[in-house]
């Protein structure tokens, strides 16, 4: 969908940064207070103008990210004092990855942030792979609460090139020729063994004086 939107913007000479891209921070209510002022006891007695200045309506994206990370962490944390488990790290990385994705939709040529997003995705995949291997129930709950579609990486993956295909075909041919040579040698050894067995049998028959 975004590719079609990007092609339309390029054809109409429209700047992608001006396109309204849906954000994962849109579900935060604008009347919610910032994280640093939410637990202040005097906040209920201040003026409405001050509350508005301290709310998310006037907050920056970094302050909204703090609230979003806190919400995601609360869904998967093991206890109120849990701040560093694999589930919490996965929640923090998920919020960062979604922020990077929205930024790259507006600025697709930002290679620095794309690299950071790929590094965060790789780190999250490693955490999820560990949870999937050690605690599968926690892995399922984490993916469900954070709305993550996890796809396990293949056991071995390699980019197919022309050189690799030629090298593989050559190795297969060498292996087949070696099998043929070994089969011929085994057949030769088997014939020698049969001749020796036949000669031993004839010798034994002659020593006993009985015809073969």
- Please check whether the domain covering 35-146 is classified as CATH 1.10.340.30: no
pLDDT of residue 170: 93
pLDDT of residue 2: 47
pLDDT at 119 over 50: yes
pLDDT tens for 34-63 read: 666 666 666 666 666 766 667 766 677 788
Cα distances from 18 to residues 13, 21, 100, 151, in angstroms, run 12, 9, 17, 33
| pTM, full prediction | 0.60
pLDDT of residue 53: 65
pLDDT of residue 86: 93
Q: Domain map of the chain by residue range?
A: 35-146
- State the pLDDT confidence band at 137, using cuts at 50, 70 and 90: very high
pLDDT tens for 163-181 read: 888 998 999 999 999 988 8
pLDDT at 135 over 90: yes
């Amino acid at each position: 969908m975004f590719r079609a939107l990007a092609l339309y913007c390029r054809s109409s000479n429209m700047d992608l940064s001006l396109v309204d891209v849906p954000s994962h921070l849109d579900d935060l209510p604008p009347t919610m207070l910032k994280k640093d002022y939410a637990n202040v006891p005097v906040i209920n007695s201040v003026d409405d103008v001050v509350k508005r200045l301290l709310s998310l309506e006037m907050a920056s994206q970094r302050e909204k990210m703090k609230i979003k990370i806190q919400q995601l962490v609360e869904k998967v944390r093991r206890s109120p004092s849990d701040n560093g488990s694999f589930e919490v790290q996965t929640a923090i990385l998920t919020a960062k990855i979604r922020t990077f994705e929205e930024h790259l939709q507006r600025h697709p040529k930002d290679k620095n942030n794309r690299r950071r997003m790929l590094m965060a995705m790789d780190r999250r995949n490693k955490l999820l792979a560990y949870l999937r291997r050690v605690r599968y129930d926690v892995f399922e709950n984490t993916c469900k609460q954070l709305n993550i579609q996890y796809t396990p990486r293949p056991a071995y993956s390699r980019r197919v090139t022309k050189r690799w295909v030629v090298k593989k075909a050559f190795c297969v041919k060498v292996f087949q020729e070696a099998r043929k040579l070994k089969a011929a040698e085994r057949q030769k050894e088997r014939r020698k063994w049969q001749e020796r067995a036949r000669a031993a049998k004839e010798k034994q028959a002659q020593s006993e004086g009985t015809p073969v």
